[in-house]
């Protein structure tokens, strides 16, 4: 008895069985046990405490570089120098707590982007994640270093293609991976405000497009270029589903704020816990990009036309129009990190209203893995059910039984 769809069903089931547990995430010679990158959150939300905890749990822990020197005594007097010292200190502290994979997230738009990247490389950081602009010259900062891997953050296949070609032409270097962030991410977004609700920009559409764009460069380099999906990923089921689109891993930030080890103040974390659906709003950031944040009185007052007096001795973000801005976004984020939400606001992802408790990082990661495995089992059950239904309805089966 020959059932034509039988071989296809077996092949599908065999493929599903490959995903019975979360696969490791490999970026160059660095391998994380789980395909989870903790997103970098500035100012001072993801420092050594959170990053080391995530790395110990099997993911990739990430220190956010913007404003990383906030605990240095001369922070406001020597802003840029304090940031360099602060970044070195946080990397060293994180490394003293973990043997896992550590990264730093550095905004390309930062005035001191190159200096921060050099410091991270000198400290032996495993991975540099670079977004909020195209890091066109990042490879030239590596020198002879081959330990640190370079991972741009993009929001389109076009940006990924441009970077691959630019790096290959100018430095004979191929990106080690990409993070593609969709419009449900938190913080500054790589889309115009009117593009955020476009179906074309849904993460499940962007990921395959970026994979296709970088594939020729991966083939030329003779090695894979993993694509990591970020923005709106909340559960282990989301992780499973995103890996089915071809992503090698996911980036998650909002979930990691409500953890014991997150470096934000208790008030910042509580704002997440108390948030409701609709509280995450799009703001017009002084740095020239839309951002997603938790609506509060500060945001309402700015929207009503209020201005928050400030001085800007450092001009920390190159694209910031500080002369016309109604407030300093750095001060607003610093106030929020310290729990003074009346003087600032908390960046967040679109799913922040689904956060309902503060837990240890390990418990969160264990939950994500359990949810992933549950989804994998359900995928197997669904495939088997389809196979059996097709088998019972097959004319070939009827002839065989006759």
Q: What is the pLDDT of residues 339-372, one digit of tens each?
A: 888 888 899 999 999 999 999 999 999 999 999 9
On average, the pLDDT of the chain sits at 88
Six-digit token string for 279:
């509280």
Give this prediction's pTM: 0.89
Distance CA 172, CA 242 (A): 31
Six-digit token string for 365:
């990661």
Which one of 3.40.50.880, 3.20.20.140, 3.20.20.70, 3.30.70.100 gives the CATH number of domain 22-264? 3.20.20.70
Query: Is 330's pLDDT higher than 70?
Result: yes
Q: Is 63 helix (H, G, I), strand (E, B) or coil?
A: strand
Six-digit token string for 375:
């989804």
Six-digit token string for 202:
């849904």
Query: Please, what is the Cα angle at 371 between 370 and 372, to 5 degrees?
Result: 90
Structure confidence by residue, pLDDT tens digits, 110-166: 888 999 999 999 999 999 999 888 999 999 999 888 899 999 999 999 999 999 999
**E strand segments, 33-176:** 36-38, 60-64, 101-107, 127-131, 149-154
Distance CA 114, CA 116 (A): 5
Distance CA 68, CA 20 (A): 39
Structure confidence by residue, pLDDT tens digits, 45-91: 999 999 999 999 999 999 999 888 778 888 777 878 889 999 999 99
Q: Is 100 exposed, middle or buried (0-12, 13-18, 19+ CB in 10 A)?
A: buried
Structure confidence by residue, pLDDT tens digits, 285-324: 777 778 899 999 988 888 887 776 566 556 666 565 666 6
Six-digit token string for 337:
């990190």
| Cα Rg of the chain (Å, integer) | 23
Query: Please, what is the Cα angle at 259 between 257 and 264, to 5 degrees?
Result: 50
The domain spans of the chain are: 22-264
Structure confidence by residue, pLDDT tens digits, 204-254: 999 999 999 999 999 999 999 999 999 999 999 999 999 999 999 999 999
Pick from 46, 31, 32, 64: nearest CA to 256: 46
Question: Do residues 36 and 365 make contact, with C-beta atoms less than 8 angstroms apart?
Answer: yes
Read off the pLDDT band of 401 (50, 70, 90).
very low
């Amino acid at each position: 008895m020959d059932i034509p769809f039988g071989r296809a069903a077996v092949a599908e089931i065999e493929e599903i069985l490959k995903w019975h547990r979360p696969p490791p995430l490999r970026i160059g010679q660095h391998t994380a046990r789980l395909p989870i990158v903790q997103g970098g959150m500035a100012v001072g939300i993801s420092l050594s405490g959170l990053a080391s905890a995530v790395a110990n749990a099997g993911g990739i822990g990430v220190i956010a570089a913007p404003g990383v020197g906030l605990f240095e005594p001369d922070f406001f007097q020597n802003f840029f120098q304090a940031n360099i010292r602060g970044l070195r200190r946080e990397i060293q502290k994180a490394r003293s707590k973990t043997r896992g994979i550590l990264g730093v997230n550095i905004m390309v738009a930062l005035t001191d982007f190159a200096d921060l990247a050099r410091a991270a490389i000198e400290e032996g950081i495993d991975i540099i994640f670079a977004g909020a602009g195209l890091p066109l010259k990042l490879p030239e900062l590596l020198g002879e270093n081959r330990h640190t891997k370079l991972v741009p953050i993009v929001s389109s296949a076009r940006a990924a293609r441009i970077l691959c070609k630019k790096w290959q032409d100018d430095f004979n270097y191929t990106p080690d991976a990409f993070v593609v962030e969709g419009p449900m991410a938190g913080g500054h977004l790589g889309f115009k405000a009117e593009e955020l609700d476009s179906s074309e920009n849904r993460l499940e559409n962007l990921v395959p497009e970026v994979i296709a764009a970088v594939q020729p460069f991966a083939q030329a380099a003779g090695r894979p270029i993993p694509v990591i999906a970020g923005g709106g990923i909340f559960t282990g089921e989301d992780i499973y589903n995103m890996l089915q689109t071809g992503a090698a891993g996911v980036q998650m930030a909002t979930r990691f704020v409500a953890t014991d080890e997150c470096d934000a103040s208790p008030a910042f974390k509580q704002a997440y816990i108390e948030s409701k659906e609709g509280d995450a709003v799009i703001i017009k950031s002084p740095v020239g990009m839309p951002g997603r944040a938790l609506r509060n009185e500060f945001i309402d007052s700015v929207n009503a036309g209020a201005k928050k007096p400030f001085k800007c001795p450092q001009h920390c973000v190159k694209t910031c129009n500080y002369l016309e801005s109604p407030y300093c976004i750095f001060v607003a984020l610093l106030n929020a990190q310290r729990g003074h939400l009346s003087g600032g606001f908390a960046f967040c992802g679109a799913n922040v209203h689904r956060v309902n408790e503060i837990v240890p990082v390990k418990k969160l990661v264990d939950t994500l893995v359990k949810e992933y495995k549950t989804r994998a089992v359900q995928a197997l059950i669904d495939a088997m059910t389809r196979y059996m239904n097709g088998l019972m309805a097959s004319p070939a089966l009827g002839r065989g039984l006759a």
